[in-house]
Chain A
């Protein structure tokens, strides 16, 4: 069979690739709120006056930034599984609970993204002048309102380029989840090429889809940055 009908024909593998592509996007998009959110929390804790908290958060970041992403995923994935096994044994459950691979993948990616993004958030937190929160306080805003209405919008503007880079890394890191039991885009391409012995065709197709995602992300990112920088020279 020629490449075209292998991809788009009725017996073709295009459908599987498409499903894989959707899983890839879902993985990345689901990770964003958890990853960036806990990254921001980590950043706030890193600036806390408590030394122990600060040291713990710095240690967490140093660890997950300094080791291969693949190793981080394995550590979180197998570590979670071990924790769950131990917990279910303590609870006296007879059958072991299997971790859903998709959500384990999201958690693992979130840990990596949180570690990376916390550095971006710390830089952003330092870049917002202190007078901003002081002014908000003197206007009578409580600390919650100060954070969400005054600081966060400015933080996002400053952090956007850095977060955009991390999004790109995240998009590509989802491919590592294919080594666990999730059928993402890369895994779909692997399945297809194993069944047809046409790896070049299918991995090129997968690469092309990743490339489209990357280029689209780049466009969206520069758009968002332009929007966020309205009113700034």
Chain B
């Protein structure tokens, strides 16, 4: 009886494979966490100047920012990753002269480089939309009260923009977690890379399902945590909006898919807000 039960369970959960290779998944998860955290942070820091350039009155600056955003949102991330990873090898002498070849030799650094540039483009658009959503009257009123430009930003614009941007930022974080699986293609042993490694050794298809479950759990945790953050940041707004949770409003909640709620260029009127 017990033995048949064990055999049944072993069919669904390959104990031998997991005891032999399970630690690799943990290792991979750690690498994925590092890649995503570093890329999203660097991307955030880079996004702010891009966003400012995009909104600036200087035509050259804003055109440069628009081209940057269009390029990184309009081409596949995998293509950008190849460009960095293989491109670094091609300009190796130049990179050696600059003293950064030891960095670009690592797949890890190439991934972070490509992912940061990519997410910066998306985050810049999120920031632009959030900043544009603060009504002009607020800024004019603050200026009329004699607040300095910095104070208007610090106390009037940013707090309101932050709440608007919070949800898209969460979606972007989830999108980056999912995109980070591409790192496996350039030999990085992240969660996806380790999964492929184990599959190549065991030919057990189940390992892909296990990896999928790990990704699902991470995404779900972030979704929940983000929901909590959002609720605590917009406490003062909740009383004003009636608490209806019809299915139609699902769109407005943080989504598992990440970027798909975001407009990818096209009609300008559908962007922002």
Contacts and interface: CB of A to CB of B under 8 A. Distances in A.
Main secondary structure of the interface of B (DSSP, over half): helix
Given A63-B212, A65-B256, A71-B192, A123 B250 contact: yes
Contact of A207 (B80, B208, B264): B80
Contact of A71 (B70, B91, B181, B246): B181
Interface string B152-190: 000000000000000000000000011111101100000
Interface string A13-43: 0000000000000000000000000000000
A136 interface: no
B99 interface: no
Contacts of B89: 199
B75 interface: yes
Interface stretch (A87-95, A101-109, A140-148, A166-174): A166-174
Nearest to A208: B75
Given A66-B215, A66-B220, A215 B74 contact: yes
A56 interface: no
A68 B74 contact: no
A173 B182 CA distance: 11
Contacts of B184: 70
B63 interface: no
A137 interface: no
A166 B260 contact: yes
A123 B169 CA distance: 22
B216 to A, nearest CB: 4
Contact of B83 (A126, A127, A203): A203
Q: What is the interface residue range for chain A against chain B?
A: 35 or more
A168 B265 contact: yes
B246 A126 contact: yes
Contact of A198 (B76, B90, B185, B246): B90
B60 interface: no
B255 interface: yes
A221 B267 contact: yes
Given A65-B255, A71-B192, A204 B250 contact: no
B26 interface: no
A65 B260 CA distance: 10
A62 B205 CA distance: 20
A179 interface: yes
Interface string A163-195: 011101100111110110000001001100100
B209 interface: yes
B78 interface: yes
Interface in B93-140: none
A186 B79 contact: yes
A172 B185 contact: no
Interface stretch (A4-12, A72-80, A149-157): A72-80
Contacts of A175: 76, 78-79
Given A66-B216, A165-B262, A119 B257 contact: yes
A67 interface: yes
Given A67-B215, A190-B82, A203-B82, A225 B267 contact: yes
Contacts of A200: 83, 86-87, 90-91
A215 B185 contact: no
B90 A211 contact: no
In the complex, the 8 A-B pairs of residues with the closest C-beta atoms, listed nearest first: A214-B74, A68-B181, A199-B86, A175-B76, A218-B266, A222-B267, A126-B248, A168-B264
Interface of A: 62-63, 65-71, 74-75, 78-79, 82, 116, 119, 122-123, 126-127, 161-162, 164-166, 168-169, 172-176, 178-179, 186, 189-190, 193, 197-200, 203-204, 206-207, 210-211, 214-215, 217-219, 221-222, 225
24 contacts: A66-B220, A67-B215, A68-B179, A68-B181, A68-B182, A68-B215, A75-B212, A116-B260, A119-B260, A122-B247, A123-B248, A164-B266, A168-B264, A175-B76, A197-B90, A199-B86, A199-B87, A200-B87, A203-B87, A207-B71, A218-B264, A218-B265, A218-B267, A221-B267
Given A67-B219, A172-B77, A210-B76, 20 more contacts: A63-B212, A63-B216, A67-B215, A68-B181, A69-B181, A70-B181, A82-B205, A116-B257, A119-B260, A123-B250, A165-B263, A165-B264, A168-B265, A169-B259, A199-B82, A200-B86, A207-B75, A210-B75, A210-B79, A214-B74
